[in-house]
Chains A and B, each alone.
Chain A
C-alpha cells in the first residue's frame, strides 16, 4: 500500500450498488443501478462535499461506505491512523469496530430522535451499546462533555426531543453522532430541513467540531451554495456516476462539466439585478432503472453530439484532484475563450 492511499480515509474503486427491481420468476432479473462505477478518494481531515439532484445516488453512496447498501461491484477501503479495512472482506468483529469509527447524521432531526427518550438517554445510548464506558458516572461525564460542545445545557438533557426547535434537534443529532469519538462522519442533507438562519449555526458547529476532533466529513447535499461555503473538495454526481471532482475553489472558479455549470447557474442570486439564465437545464433526471446509453447526461446536455449518445466518457484528469467525465469539456473551454 502506498503513502498516497494512506492519506485517504476512504477510497472507493469502481464501486457500484444495484437494487433489485421487484421479483420476476422468468427472464432476466431487473436492477436499479443507483451507484455506478465510482472511484473516489476522501482525504483524511477533509470536509468533502457530494452534490447532485435528488435521485442521483448520493445517499446510496454514503450508505455503501457504511456497508449498508448492496454493493454489486468494486470495493471500499478505510484507513485511519490505527486500522485499515477493506469492506469486501471485513470480519464481524472488525465491522463492529468499523461502525464505532464512523457515524451518520441524517436530514430529518425529527425522525432521527426517539420521542420517548430524554436527551441524556439519546446521547448515552450509542456509547452504552458500544460498551465504551464502564460506569454510569463515566457515561454521564461523556454526555455532559459532548452536550456542552454542541451547546446543550444540563436543563436540555432532562427534556424530550419534542420540546426542541429544528436547529436544537439537529445539534442533539450531531452530539449523538460525535459522542463515540468517531473518525469519519457521513452527513446526509443535514441542514436541508432547517431555516437559513439556523442552517448557518449547524454548519458552523460541524466545522468547529471537525477542528476539535480531527474529523473527516462526507457532506452530502443537493445545495451547491452550502457546499461552496463549507467543503474543501467537491464531487458532483449525476445518475449514479461522478461527473466532476475538484477542490472547492477550483470547481466554483472554473467548472468544467456542463452539468456542474448548469447546477451553478440554477442557484438563485440574492442580487435582484443578476438575471443570468445562462445555462438552464431542460427536463428532469431520467430514472436510473432505464438510464440513457452513452453519457448519462446527454439527454439534457445542450452540447451533446453523436458520440455522447453512444460512448460513455472516461474520467479525465486535469490535475491529481480535478477530474471531469465529458467528451467535450476541452472544446467547451476553447470555444469560451
Chain B
C-alpha cells in the first residue's frame, strides 16, 4: 500500500538551463523508501546524486526545470503531500529542516560561520517545533551529548570552526536530528573523513537509525560504505538509476555492467593480489550524453546497434531488484 512508504519518487527528470545548453542531470528516476529504511545512492561524481537529493527538498537553483511527469510524494504522520505542490514558505518548511533534514560532506556548509552551534540549533528548533528557547536549548545539548560530543554544554557555545573534523560532523548530525526528521538525507557525510573517523560516524548513524527509526538516503561514491550501512541501493550513472535493489542482492549478484565495474574497481582486503580493474574511459560530459543507454560508451558488454540506439527499460530481475540494461534483458529472457 502507498501509505506504507515514506517517500515515493516517480519519473523524476530534471534539467538545468546553462549558457552551454540544457543539461540533463536527473533522467526518469523512480524509487521509494519506507520508514526506517536506509537507501544507498551510489555513483561516480557528476552522476546526479546531490541534485536528486536537493530535488527532494526543492533546493535546486532557479535554472532547474523539472519535467511535468516528475512526482515526489512524501508521507509523514499519516498525511501524504506532493512535494512539487508545496508553495508557501510555511509549507516548504516541511521538507526543509522539518520532517526532512540533510547533512553534507563538508559540515561547514551546514553551520553559519558567525553564530555559535547552539544559537543555530536553537533557532532551527524554535522555528520548526514551536517550542520555547529554554526547551530548545535543553534538547540541543541533549542531542549533542547523544551523538558522543563530550562537554556538550561547552560545545553548545562554540563555533563550528573550533571543533575538529570528526566533532563537527557529529555536531551537524546532532543538528539535523534534533527536529526528529522522518527522512534524513546524508550527502557523502564521511567522504572527507579518515577511515577511523568514518567508522565512528557510520556506527553512530546506524545506532541513531535504530533508535529514531527515520528513513535515510545515504549518498556516497563508495559501494563498501553502502554495503555496511544500507538496506537497499540505487546505482546512478549520468542521471539514470541503472540498477536498484536490496544491498545483498545487488552486491552479490549485480546485473548491470556498471555495477559490476564498480565492484571490480574497488580495492578490497580479502584478496590483495587481485588486479584492480578500471572501468574503461571517462564519464561523458552531461552536455554530451550518449544516445541509447547512457553507459554504452564505456560498457564492455555493449551490443552495437542496440545499446547505442535505444534506451533500455527498467526490468525486474528479482524481488525489488531491477536493472535497465539490454544485455541483462537478453540474459533473463
Report A's interface with B, CB cutoff 8 A: 53-54, 165-168, 195-201, 203-204, 222-226, 228-230, 248-249, 252, 262-273, 275, 277, 280-282, 284-285
Question: Which residues from chain B contact A54 at a C-beta distance below 8 Å?
Answer: 194
A268 & B282 in contact (Cβ 8 Å cutoff): no
A223 & B195 in contact (Cβ 8 Å cutoff): yes
List 11 additional contacts besides A197-B265, A204-B275; criterion CB under 8 Å.
Answer: A53-B197, A196-B221, A200-B276, A200-B277, A201-B278, A223-B267, A224-B269, A228-B272, A268-B202, A271-B227, A284-B165
B198 & A266 in contact (Cβ 8 Å cutoff): yes
Asked, given contacts A195-B45, A197-B262, A198-B282, whether A269 binds B200 with beta carbons under 8 Å apart, the answer is no
Q: Which of A195, A248, A263 contacts B196 (CB 8 A)?
A: A263
Let me know if B279 is at the binding interface, CB within 8 A: yes
| CB within 8 Å: A-B pair count | 128
B196 & A281 in contact (Cβ 8 Å cutoff): yes
B228 & A269 in contact (Cβ 8 Å cutoff): yes
Let me know if B304 is at the binding interface, CB within 8 A: no
Q: Which of A168, A198, A268, A273 contacts B222 (CB 8 A)?
A: A268
A222 & B248 in contact (Cβ 8 Å cutoff): no
Question: Which residues from chain A contact B247 at a C-beta distance below 8 Å?
Answer: 272
Question: Which residues from chain B contact A270 at a C-beta distance below 8 Å?
Answer: 223-224, 227, 251, 263, 266, 268
Question: Which residues from chain A contact B274 at a C-beta distance below 8 Å?
Answer: 229
Q: Which of B166, B202, B272 contacts A248 (CB 8 A)?
A: B272
Asked, given contacts A165-B283, A263-B196, A269-B227, whether A196 binds B222 with beta carbons under 8 Å apart, the answer is yes
User: B208-232 toward A: CB 8 Å interface, digit per residue (1/0)?
Assistant: 0000000000000111110110000
B196 & A53 in contact (Cβ 8 Å cutoff): yes
User: A249–B222 Cα gap in the complex (Å)?
Assistant: 24
B269 & A269 in contact (Cβ 8 Å cutoff): yes
A197 & B261 in contact (Cβ 8 Å cutoff): yes
Question: Which residues from chain A contact B85 at a C-beta distance below 8 Å?
Answer: none
Question: Which residues from chain A contact B267 at a C-beta distance below 8 Å?
Answer: 196, 200, 223, 225-226, 228-229
Let me know if B203 is at the binding interface, CB within 8 A: yes
User: A169–B270 Cα gap in the complex (Å)?
Assistant: 31
Sampled A-B contacts (23; CB under 8 Å): A53-B197, A54-B194, A195-B44, A195-B45, A196-B265, A197-B278, A198-B44, A201-B278, A203-B276, A224-B269, A230-B276, A262-B196, A265-B199, A267-B269, A268-B199, A269-B268, A269-B269, A272-B227, A272-B248, A272-B252, A280-B203, A282-B200, A284-B197
Question: Which residues from chain B contact A268 at a C-beta distance below 8 Å?
Answer: 195, 198-199, 202, 222, 224-225, 227-228
User: A244–B130 Cα gap in the complex (Å)?
Assistant: 55
Residue of B nearest to A273 (CB): B248
User: A269–B280 Cα gap in the complex (Å)?
Assistant: 24
Question: Which residues from chain A contact B278 at a C-beta distance below 8 Å?
Answer: 197-201, 204
B195 & A266 in contact (Cβ 8 Å cutoff): yes
User: Dominant SS at the A interface?
Assistant: helix
Asked, given contacts A203-B276, A267-B195, A281-B196, whether A225 binds B261 with beta carbons under 8 Å apart, the answer is no
> How many chain B residues have a CB neighbour from A under 8 Å?
45
Question: Which residues from chain A contact B280 at a C-beta distance below 8 Å?
Answer: 201
- In order of increasing CB-CB distance, the 7 nearest A-B pairs are A201-B278, A200-B276, A200-B278, A197-B279, A268-B224, A266-B199, A228-B272
User: A248–B262 Cα gap in the complex (Å)?
Assistant: 24
B282 & A168 in contact (Cβ 8 Å cutoff): yes
Let me know if B164 is at the binding interface, CB within 8 A: yes
A195 & B269 in contact (Cβ 8 Å cutoff): no
Residue of B nearest to A225 (CB): B267
Closest Cβ of chain B to A61, distance in Å, is 17
Question: Which residues from chain A contact B283 at a C-beta distance below 8 Å?
Answer: 165, 195
Which residues in chain B, 237-293, are within 8 Å of chain A measured between CB atoms? 247-248, 251-252, 261-263, 265-270, 272, 274-280, 282-283
User: A44–B283 Cα gap in the complex (Å)?
Assistant: 37
A228 & B269 in contact (Cβ 8 Å cutoff): yes
B269 & A222 in contact (Cβ 8 Å cutoff): no
Question: Which residues from chain A contact B164 at a C-beta distance below 8 Å?
Answer: 284
User: A223–B276 Cα gap in the complex (Å)?
Assistant: 15
User: A6–B252 Cα gap in the complex (Å)?
Assistant: 49
User: A200–B277 Cα gap in the complex (Å)?
Assistant: 6
Closest Cβ of chain A to B328, distance in Å, is 19
Question: Which residues from chain A contact B266 at a C-beta distance below 8 Å?
Answer: 196, 225, 270
Closest Cβ of chain A to B236, distance in Å, is 12
Which residues in chain B, 165-224, are within 8 Å of chain A measured between CB atoms? 165-167, 194-200, 202-203, 221-224
A204 & B276 in contact (Cβ 8 Å cutoff): yes
User: A109–B103 Cα gap in the complex (Å)?
Assistant: 27
Asked, given contacts A195-B44, A196-B262, A271-B227, whether A165 binds B197 with beta carbons under 8 Å apart, the answer is no
